[in-house]
């Protein structure tokens, strides 16, 4: 049965006169894709296990396992080790940025997003912004637990907040490495293996748990140029009021260098991914 347009004037008017929606801008597209990542957490809350349970386990385990042996008391060691464990925990969870993207690639969501008419980097930028929220959540949980256990920053809450901000900048830059690798390796397990192979030596051969001055000279010379050591020393110095401008600038330069190298590589691979 044929239908005349006069029978549905309102529908005909909408179909004919409605203007085509404007293409979303970079910020709008990034926030929309970021909201998508947040919704994934809402429906699969187990994803927050790494930013809630792991920091708590690390802090309790290292404080009460090594505190007495290294510093003579758990209270004194807690003030020293909390900034280090904070950096270690946040650094460890940066790998999940690439793992989530790799999952999207395997499921075909990646190809679908690339066909949509919006700013192409939005899918990556949105995910990285949401991960920054996850890093902040992990930092908040650890600092709260630290206060409960007796941790007190020598530089007050302001110094603590600035230290966390510096850590978030470094973590954001580090996420670009795993994002790039997620576009190169074939499986999520391969990406996890590579990231662990890189992160474990970097985090444990650093000043996270001990002062580098207690190490042999040959080892100290290696540990002192470790990027994780540079971040830990800057965050610890800001927390306790001993940070220098050189330490801050070094971390910022390292972070910027990582972004300058890996962000263009990631976008090139993202555009040309088959």
Q: What pLDDT score was predicted for residue 229?
A: 93
Q: What pLDDT score was predicted for residue 159?
A: 87
Average pLDDT over residues 161-177: 91
Average pLDDT over residues 163-175: 91
Alpha carbon distance 121, 191 (integer Å): 21
74-78, 104-108, 126-130, 225-229 — which one is most confidently predicted on average? 225-229
Q: What pLDDT score was predicted for residue 1?
A: 45
Q: Give the model confidence (pLDDT) of 144-159 as tens digits.
A: 888 888 888 888 888 8
Alpha carbon distance 114, 112 (integer Å): 5
Alpha carbon distance 64, 51 (integer Å): 21
Q: Give the model confidence (pLDDT) of 172-223 as tens digits.
A: 899 899 888 888 888 878 888 888 888 888 888 888 888 888 888 888 888 8
DSSP track, the chain: ----GGGSHHHHHHHHHPPPPPPPPHHHHHHHHHHHHHHHHHH-GGGGHHHHHHHHHHHHHHHHHHHHHHHSSHHHHHHHHHHHHHHHHHHHHTHHHHHHHHHHHHHTHHHHHHHSSS-TTHHHHHHHHHHHHHHHHHHHHHHHHHHHHT---TTHHHHHHHHHHHHHHHHHHHHHHHHHHHTTSSSHHHHHHHHHHHHHHHHHSSSSSS-GGGS-HHHHHHHTT-HHHHHHHHHHHHHHT---HHHHHHHHHHHHHHHHHHHHHHHHHHHH--
Q: What pLDDT score was predicted for residue 77?
A: 84
DSSP track, 25-65: PHHHHHHHHHHHHHHHHHH-GGGGHHHHHHHHHHHHHHHHH
CB 81 within 8 A of CB 62: yes
Alpha carbon distance 166, 122 (integer Å): 24
Instruction: Measure Cα distances from 260 to 174, 255, 267, 274 in Å.
Output: 11, 9, 11, 24
Q: What pLDDT score was predicted for residue 12?
A: 61
Tell me the Cα Rg of the chain.
23
Q: What residue segments make up the domains of the chain, in order of their start?
A: 25-272
Is pLDDT above 70 for 62?
Answer: yes
Other C-beta atoms closer than 10 Å to the C-beta of 43 total 7
Alpha carbon distance 227, 206 (integer Å): 9
Q: Give the model confidence (pLDDT) of 130-147 as tens digits.
A: 888 888 888 888 888 888
159 contacts: CB under 8 Å, gap ≥ 6: 153, 238, 239, 240, 241, 243
- Mean pLDDT for all residues in the chain: 80
Lookup result for tokens 């790998």 = 95
Q: What pLDDT score was predicted for residue 135?
A: 84
Q: What pLDDT score was predicted for residue 260?
A: 94
């Amino acid at each position: 049965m044929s239908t005349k347009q006069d029978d549905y004037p309102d529908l005909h008017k909408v179909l004919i006169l409605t203007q085509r929606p404007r293409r979303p801008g970079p910020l709008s597209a990034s926030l929309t894709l970021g909201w998508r990542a947040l919704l994934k957490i809402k429906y699969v809350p187990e994803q927050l296990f790494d930013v809630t349970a792991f920091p708590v386990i690390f802090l309790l385990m290292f404080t009460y396992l090594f505190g007495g042996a290294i510093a003579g008391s758990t209270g004194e060691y807690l003030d020293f080790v909390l900034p280090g464990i904070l950096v270690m925990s946040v650094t460890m969870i940066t790998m999940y940025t690439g793992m989530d993207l790799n999952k999207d690639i395997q499921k075909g969501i990646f190809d679908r997003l690339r066909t949509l008419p919006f700013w192409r980097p939005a899918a990556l930028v949105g995910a990285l912004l949401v991960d920054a929220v996850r890093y902040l959540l992990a930092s908040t949980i650890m600092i709260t637990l630290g206060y409960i256990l007796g941790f007190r920053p020598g530089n007050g809450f302001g110094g603590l907040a600035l230290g966390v901000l510096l850590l978030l900048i470094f973590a954001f830059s580090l996420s670009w490495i795993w994002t790039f690798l997620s576009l190169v390796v074939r499986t999520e397990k391969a990406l996890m293996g590579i990231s662990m192979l890189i992160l474990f030596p970097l985090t444990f051969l650093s000043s996270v748990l001990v002062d580098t001055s207690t190490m042999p000279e040959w080892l100290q010379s290696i540990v002192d140029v470790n990027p994780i050591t540079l971040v830990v020393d800057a965050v610890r110095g800001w927390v306790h009021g001993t940070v220098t401008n050189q330490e801050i600038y070094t971390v910022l330069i390292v972070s910027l260098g990582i972004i300058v190298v890996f962000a263009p590589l990631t976008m090139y691979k993202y555009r040309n991914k088959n």
